[in-house]
Amino acid sequence: MSTLSICNLHASIGDKPILRGLTLEIPKGQVHAIMGKNGSGKSTLAKVMAGHPDYTVNSGDVLLDGESILGMEPDQRARLGLFLAFQYPMEIPGVTIANFIRAAVQSRLPQGEELEATDYYAEIYSKMDALSIPRSFTSRSVNEGFSGGEKKRCEILQMAMLQPKYAVLDETDSGLDIDALKIVSSGVNSLRGPEVGMLVITHYQRLLDYIVPDKVHVMAEGQIVLSGEKDLALKLESEGYDWVTAS
């Protein structure tokens, strides 16, 4: 039951099918990686799970700890414990990081319960310190004018603050320099634990040196076409994807 299960999922945008019978199971406590060519449908999978309104699910299901989430609004899924670190995080002009994350944390509290401001700031500051995000970022507008790497770090900050049960990280490593990659990876690793399942989408095996996955999956044309252990990533890096789809 303690799994994020994607069962034979078919989804399309307009009349263009993108996910074509995708099946994947991420148990709590594990980290799975997905690799695959550009356009194979990795981000689509992430967004369909999160409930993006542009996509239509034609068949299949997504179960979070046994409960189907496909009929839920995106915010309901989020509050149930699903987190998505976006490949391209959105800018929200005029809304500060502090207010945004605070509203997100507040949305998880029972009605009538107010977040204590001093506790909140103590927590966000300590997490920002760990991710080497300057504290002054709390008063900057969400993602506005952030460098690529700053955006990604900020996604992980949000994940750390929201403590999801399942997290999907969509190319969180792209755009990061080596130091940032280490910081972000250790940030992610510190959130690993028996109560959290993670799905890490990446193009680079290097990330998997830092965030060591329990399983690696290869995605092509909207399906998982191959699954294996960590060394599969190494093979993909040296040999490319053609041998997978050819076999």
Residues interacting with other proteins, by CB under 8 A? 50-54, 73-75, 78-79, 83-84, 86, 89-95, 99-101, 103-104, 107-108, 141, 158, 162
Contacts of 160 (CB under 8 A, 6+ apart): 127, 130, 131, 187, 190, 191
Judged by beta carbon distances under 5 to 8 A according to partner kind, the member of other proteins, ligand ATP, Mg ion, none in contact with residue 57 is: none
Q: Which of 178, 134, 182 is nearest to 154 (CA)?
A: 134
We find the least distance from the C-beta atom of residue 199 to other proteins, in angstroms, to be: 15
147, 154 Cβ separation under 8 angstroms: no
Judged by beta carbon distances under 5 to 8 A according to partner kind, the member of Mg ion, ligand ATP, other proteins, none in contact with residue 13 is: ligand ATP
Q: Which runs of consecutive H residues, i.e. helices, occur in 31-144?
A: 42-50, 74-80, 97-106, 117-130
Give the alpha-carbon dihedral of 8, 12, 18, 24, to 10 degrees: -30
- Per-residue x/- mask for Mg ion, residues 29 to 48, rule CB under 5 A? -------------xx-----
We find the least distance from the C-beta atom of residue 46 to Mg ion, in angstroms, to be: 8
Residue 95 vs residues 100, 102, 169: alpha-carbon distances, Å: 6, 11, 23
Judged by beta carbon distances under 5 to 8 A according to partner kind, the member of ligand ATP, Mg ion, other proteins, none in contact with residue 51 is: other proteins
User: What residue ranges bind ligand ATP (CB under 6 A)?
Assistant: 13, 16, 18, 36, 38-44, 54, 87
Distance, CA of 104 to CA of 154 (rounded, Å): 14
- Per-residue x/- mask for Mg ion, residues 87 to 116, rule CB under 5 A? x-----------------------------
